[in-house]
Amino acid sequence: MPIATGEEAKEPVPAGPVPRGMLARILDSDILHSFLRSKVTIASAIVTLVFFIGAAFAPWIAPHNPFDLASISILDARVPPIGMDYHDPRFLLGTDDQGRDVFSGILYGARISLAVGFLSVLFAGVVGVLLGLIAGYVGGKVDAIIMRIAEVQLTFPAILIALLVDGVARALFGNLDRERFAFWILVFSIALSFWVQFARTVRGSTLVERNKEYVQAARLIGIPPFLIMVRHVLPNVIGPVLVIATINLGLAIITEATLSFLGVGIPPTQPSLGTLVRIGNDFLFSGEWWIAMFPGCALAVLVLAVNLLGDWLRDALNPKLR
Amino acid sequence: MLAFTIRRLVQAILVMLVVALISFTLFRFVGDPVNQMVGVETTPEQREALRERLGLNDPMLTQFGRFIINAAQFDFGTSYQFRQPVAELIGRRLPATLELSIVSAIFALFVGIPMGVYTGLHRDSILSKLFLSISLIGISLPTFFIGILLIFLFSVTLQWLPSFGRGDVVQLGWWSTGLLTWGGIKALILPAITLGLFQMTLIMRLVRSEMLEVIRTDYIKFARARGLRQRSVNFRHALKNTLVPVITITGLQLGSIIAFAIITETVFQWPGMGLLFLQSVQNVDIPIMAAYLMLIAFLFVTINLIVDLLYFQVDPRLRAERATH
Amino acid sequence: MTQPPLLSVKDLRVEFPTRRGILTAIDGISFDLREGEVLGVVGESGAGKSITGTAVIGLLEPPGRIAGGEIRLKGERIDNLSQPAMRKLRGKRIGMVFQDPLTSLNPLFTIGDQIIETILTHLPVSEREARDRAVALLEEVGIPAAGQRLNAYPHQFSGGMRQRVVIALALCAEPELVIADEPTTALDVSVQAQIIRLLQRVCRDHGTAVMLITHDMGVIAETADRVAVMYSGRIAEIGPVRDVIKSPSHPYTIGLMGAIPSLTGDHERLTQIPGSMPRLDSIPAGCAFNPRCSLVMDRCRSERPQLIAAGESQAACWKLLETERAAG
């Protein structure tokens, strides 16, 4: 059992009161230790945190509101960033073709990118964990059906699924309505391709747990075994699920950005980081590189930081991922 | 082995049927095909006549059967936006996408495998750490942004390579190739790298971790204890044992390369199927969407079938196991 | 000048640097091995038997390293050879047989491939000759229809047959020494004796010396000329098999002998040594065996005993010095 070997590998617990509780256990464990030892991990945690704060408090931090048509002026269009000729001190990273501040755009864009990323991973996680529990616990035909669907799903890349969902949504809602629902369509289509990994991992743990004696015992004394499964399997899979969630957060942000870049994601009226790059891409050749490059780099740094955190978390918790 | 092949073939056909069902559902229920074909001034009677002529009043099963028979003959009807047969549209775009995908797959394999072997064998060397850092960045950078960076560097700033299109193409029958002219090859370089980079880092990391596992096995220790040459131990005995998972992933990735070509083709305005598909999504051109879906599924299934058969070539144990079934 | 022994190990120390400090797996062991001789190395798991073997053939897994002492093959030092030089020596002059025949053979190559490659690596023969030699070897180790079996893959053989192939592989370049690391442990009991006898016969026929690593005293008694008993990375006792078995000197060996059931002897209760071997990071000062020893003295807790002659064998125990003194 991987859990048992993990226990053996740990340092002997020092004498004295043994701390209890989830938080105390985490603080006491190797996880915190390995976290503090790795400079890269600390740096990526800080970068991620900065993005979170920047995104969450964008309306207060951002020097301009790119959505407020009254405050932007076409006269400020295509101003280069600070440090270049003809720059404007009001615009740290320059402006785009409509005079919107690129820096503020990034803050507001990160807000949407992170929101889509989080919600889709949350959605995928909940669906995946539930389906995994059901597949593992009920077994038989239900299990076979769920896992077959997962397999077919896995053969199709997330981008393709999301594009199809978007195409269907356009056909069903019409283009105008689609823009109103674009955010939720995006969340749904990304979640749709990310639930599989959660389901597989949870199913594996459930299969192991189901045959243990305490589950049989619970059945004997009349406790609904499914409740027991939830109570005992969930704590066991919380590590792997967390790792998958972190890694998938990076992937979800990339997927959202890609879809928005392709013009099927978030509409330009409320641009995400991907939409900003799409807008800027048209000006690459006329020399206004900053419009695409700054949002693109912000996106890359954010995803890199999240991925590094995921990598570290995977190594620290060392779960067997399927 | 024959039995196994037949079983996989049946599975492949099943998957194709499921995808066909999805395509058919898209085609039949998402947006009324008749509305897309006729003008506003068409009378209800004319519509009904068209409906009857297209067989849209037949029982569903008949319609589905007809859809499959037509699909098997690459007949997916007419594009709503181009008013041309879908098969013809896709056929014209197919060579561009396949050339791009195959070249980037070759790039990914021929750069990724040696890098993986190297980093697996020399875990702690500086070059390995450099490769690993690059691979992490490669995984974190969205494909479209890699493309934009490459364009910015090699097309805008250095002006070495073209940033869009296929360059000069030569027509070989119905196949148009960019591989025979210098301009065509130059145009292919940036898109191929953009598309292959992610797969390359993936293959590198996979080969590396497999390599790390294999060199710890007893048979590699025994090979070393017999004094076999280092090169033979690493590249004959160890590498061959890493191939089964590498083939699996590469097979799967080849499928996703074709799908990811959508992004690369958009960035580089590459006139392939992906660009066509994206346009069809934006314009709700259902016949093209349905046909593209079927084609992609067909490619996936074919690749997976080839991968399964490749296993037999690599691993003698499978040959024996399957034979006893 | 007498001829140097085939293998001579002097004060060998093997260390494994870890996060928590350096672990000494082998702590100053010395032994000789003459040409054609079979030396048994026994001990519990973790006593350092296998590490001694891997150190001799130069295949210690990093971060493990030889930290002191020397290993000589026919008088020539081999513990400080370069990797390529050591590589040429492995298989050619020192062969090795691993524990588990199921995992020792590369599953993706025919056994013919594997034998022929090894022969061609070390001997100046043509492919044709290598093939003939491979067939002859397989016949010698008792593989029926050897000519056809050359094209078979490892999974098509049983465990016992695979170990025969492994022995053929270890011997295919006529090494002077074979290190057999628990060659029968992973096999069925019914096959174990066959394989041991095969190893013994083939090595005698080729004049190959054997370092037979095992935890099975019975195998040693049957096969070895001399035996080294290891405990906590040190040699507790070394000497001719007969002497060590009949009249062991070290309390650990005595305990070990008491734990072997005998078929002929009367039905005494098998003795058992209390406690267990210390872990590498908590080896006590003085004699490593002192916490479990019934004859422990003060000196055993502070000073480490060296090998002391006891009849034809030698043992590392302070008690011997006393009996010697008492006798003298």
Q: What is the mean pLDDT of residues A116-126?
A: 93
Q: Is the dihedral of CA B134, B136, B137, B141 positive or negative?
A: positive
- The pTM of this model reads 0.78
Q: What is the pLDDT, as a whole number, of residue A19?
A: 39
CA angle A48, A53, A57 (to 5 degrees): 150
Q: Of C270 and B50, which is predicted with more confidence?
A: B50
Of A171, A292, A308, Cβ closest to residue B30: A171
Q: Dump the DSSP string for B161-223.
A: S--SS--S-EEETTEEESTTSHHHHHHHHHHHHHHHHHHHHHHHHHHHHHHHHHTTSHHHHHH
| For residue A6, pLDDT beyond 70 | no
Whether chain A has a CB inside 8 Å of the CB on B266: the answer is yes
Query: Could you tell me how many helices (H) and strands (E) chain B has, helices first?
Result: 14, 2
Which residue ranges of chain C lie beneath pLDDT 70?
1-2, 259-271, 324-328
Task: Residue window 28-67, chain C: list those with CB within 8 Å of chain B.
Answer: 57, 59
Whether chain B has a CB inside 8 Å of the CB on A211: the answer is no
Q: What is the pLDDT, as a whole number, of residue A119?
A: 94
> In 3D, which of C55, C131, C46, C147 has the Cα closest to residue C96?
C55
Q: What is the pLDDT, as a whole number, of residue A32?
A: 63
Q: What is the mean pLDDT of residues A309-321?
A: 71
Lowest-pLDDT choice from A29-43, A180-194, B1-15, C168-182: A29-43
Long-range residue pairs from C245-249, CB within 8 A, at least 24 positions apart, any chain: C245/C217, C245/C221, C247/C311, C248/C315, C249/C310, C249/C311, C249/C313, C249/C315, C249/C317, C249/C320
Q: What is the mean pLDDT of residues B213-242?
A: 88
Whether chain A has a CB inside 8 Å of the CB on B152: the answer is yes
Of C87, C88, C155, Cβ closest to residue B317: C155
Q: Of A163 and A90, which is predicted with more confidence?
A: A163
Cβ-based burial of A267 (10 A; exposed 0-12, middle 13-18, buried ≥19): middle
Half-sphere exposure of B308 (CA within 13 A, CB side): 17
Rounded Cα distance, B173 and B183, in Å? 20
- For tokens 């400079």, the residue is A39
Q: Count other Cβ atoms within 10 Å, centred on residue A76.
A: 18
Rounded Cα distance, A166 and A124, in Å? 18
Alpha-carbon distances, residue C91 vs B204, B254, C56, C57, C122 (angstroms): 33, 42, 13, 9, 8
Whether chain C has a CB inside 8 Å of the CB on B59: the answer is no
Pairing of strands C177-181, C94-97: parallel
Residues C94, C179: contact at Cβ < 8 Å? yes
Q: What is the pLDDT, as a whole number, of residue A153?
A: 78
Domains, chain C, ranges and CATH? 34-58+82-246 (3.40.50.300), 284-328 (no CATH)
Residues B225, B229, B234, B239: what is their CA dihedral angle, to the nearest 10 degrees? -100
Q: Is the dihedral of CA B106, B110, B111, B115 positive or negative?
A: positive
C: neighbours with 3+ CB pairs under 8 Å?
B
The amino acid present at B42, given as its one-letter code, is T
Q: Which two tokens stand for residue B243?
A: 């191939």
Residues C38, C197: contact at Cβ < 8 Å? no
Q: What is the pLDDT, as a whole number, of residue C95?
A: 92
Whether chain C has a CB inside 8 Å of the CB on B240: the answer is yes
Rounded Cα distance, B325 and B313, in Å? 18
Residues C205, C120: contact at Cβ < 8 Å? no
Expressed as residue numbers, the domain containing B144 is 86-272
Domain count, chain B: 1
All residues at 6 or more sequence positions from C263 whose CB lies less than 8 Å from its CB, including other chains: none
Q: What is the mean pLDDT of residues A213-221?
A: 79
Mutual angle of helices B86-121 and B273-282, in 10-degree steps: 120
Inter-chain CB proximity A167 and B304 less than 8 Å: no
Convert the pLDDT of each residue in A68-90 to its tens digit.
766 666 666 666 776 667 666 66
Rounded Cα distance, C289 and C220, in Å? 22
> In 3D, which of A237, A311, A320, A315 has the Cα closest to residue A33?
A315
% chain B with pLDDT above 70: 94
Whether chain B has a CB inside 8 Å of the CB on A114: the answer is no
> Considering the domain A39-321 in this protein, what is its CATH number?
1.10.3720.10
Rounded Cα distance, C324 and C328, in Å? 6
Q: What is the pLDDT, as a whole number, of residue A12?
A: 38
Q: Which two tokens stand for residue A131?
A: 């389906």
Of B218, B228, B240, Cβ closest to residue C104: B218
Give how far A11 is from chain B: nearest CA, Å: 26
| For residue B218, pLDDT beyond 80 | yes
Mutation target vs B (from C81, C100, C104; most B CBs, 10 A cutoff)? C104
Rounded Cα distance, B3 and A311, in Å? 42
Convert the pLDDT of each residue in B80-114 to its tens digit.
778 888 888 888 888 999 899 989 989 998 999 89
CATH number of the domain that residue B218 is part of: 1.10.3720.10
CB < 8 Å to B240, chain C? 108-109
Task: Residue window 224-243, chain B: list those with CB within 8 Å of chain A.
Answer: none
Give the rounded distance of the alpha carbon of C133 from its chain centre.
27
Rounded Cα distance, A212 and A203, in Å? 15
Give how far A160 is from chain B: nearest CA, Å: 6
Give how far B316 is from chain C: nearest CA, Å: 6
Q: What is the pLDDT, as a whole number, of residue B180?
A: 79
Q: What is the pLDDT, as a whole number, of residue C267?
A: 56
CB < 8 Å to B317, chain C? 107, 153, 155
> In 3D, which of B114, B323, B98 has the Cα closest to residue B203?
B114
Q: State the distance between the two ends of chain A, measured CA to CA, in whole angstroms.
A: 16
| For residue B62, pLDDT beyond 60 | yes
Task: Residue window 234-293, chain A: list those with CB within 8 Å of chain B.
Answer: 250, 254, 257-258, 261-264, 274, 277, 281, 284-285, 289, 292-293
Q: What is the mean pLDDT of residues A1-26?
A: 40
Mutual angle of helices A225-262 and B143-150, in 10-degree steps: 30
- For tokens 């958009």, the residue is B266
CB < 8 Å to A308, chain B? 136
Q: What is the pLDDT, as a whole number, of residue B136?
A: 81
| For residue A1, pLDDT beyond 50 | no
Asked if the bond preceding C240 is cis, omega within 30° of 0, the reply is no
Q: Which two tokens stand for residue C121?
A: 């690596």
All residues at 6 or more sequence positions from B266 whose CB lies less than 8 Å from its CB, including other chains: A261, A262, B144, B274, B275, B278
According to DSSP, residue A93 is labeled T
Inter-chain CB proximity B30 and A168 less than 8 Å: yes
Q: What is the pLDDT, as a whole number, of residue A310?
A: 84
Domain ranges of chain A: 39-321
Q: What is the mean pLDDT of residues A248-257?
A: 90
Whether chain B has a CB inside 8 Å of the CB on C107: the answer is yes
Inter-chain CB proximity B277 and A304 less than 8 Å: no
Long-range residue pairs from A176-182, CB within 8 A, at least 24 positions apart, any chain: A179/A267, A179/A269, A182/A265, A182/A266, A182/A267
Convert the pLDDT of each residue in C14-48 to its tens digit.
998 887 788 888 988 999 999 889 999 998 888 88
- For tokens 């190797």, the residue is A30
Give how far C293 is from chain B: nearest CA, Å: 37
CB < 8 Å to B142, chain A? 254, 257-258, 261, 274, 299-300, 303
CB < 8 Å to C96, chain B? 222, 225-226
Inter-chain CB proximity C107 and B315 less than 8 Å: yes
Residues C308, C324: contact at Cβ < 8 Å? yes
Inter-chain CB proximity A285 and B300 less than 8 Å: no
| For residue B18, pLDDT beyond 70 | yes
> In 3D, which of B7, B61, B18, B8 has the Cα closest to residue B294?
B18
CA angle B142, B144, B146 (to 5 degrees): 70
Q: What is the pLDDT, as a whole number, of residue A120?
A: 94
Q: Which two tokens stand for residue A109?
A: 């864009």
Inter-chain CB proximity A289 and B151 less than 8 Å: no
Q: Closest residue of A to B156, CA-based?
A: A285
Alpha-carbon distances, residue B140 vs A143, A268, B84, B260 (angstroms): 34, 24, 40, 15
Q: Closest residue of A to B251, CA-based?
A: A155
Q: Count other Cβ atoms within 10 Å, centred on residue B78.
A: 18
Of A168, A274, A299, Cβ closest to residue B26: A168
Mutation target vs B (from A262, A276, A309; most B CBs, 10 A cutoff)? A262
Inter-chain CB proximity C98 and B230 less than 8 Å: no
According to DSSP, residue B43 is labeled -
Q: Closest residue of C to B237, CA-based?
A: C106
Whether chain C has a CB inside 8 Å of the CB on B217: the answer is yes
Q: What is the pLDDT, as a whole number, of residue B2?
A: 74
Lowest-pLDDT choice from A14-18, B179-183, C2-6: A14-18
Q: What is the pLDDT, as a whole number, of residue C324?
A: 66
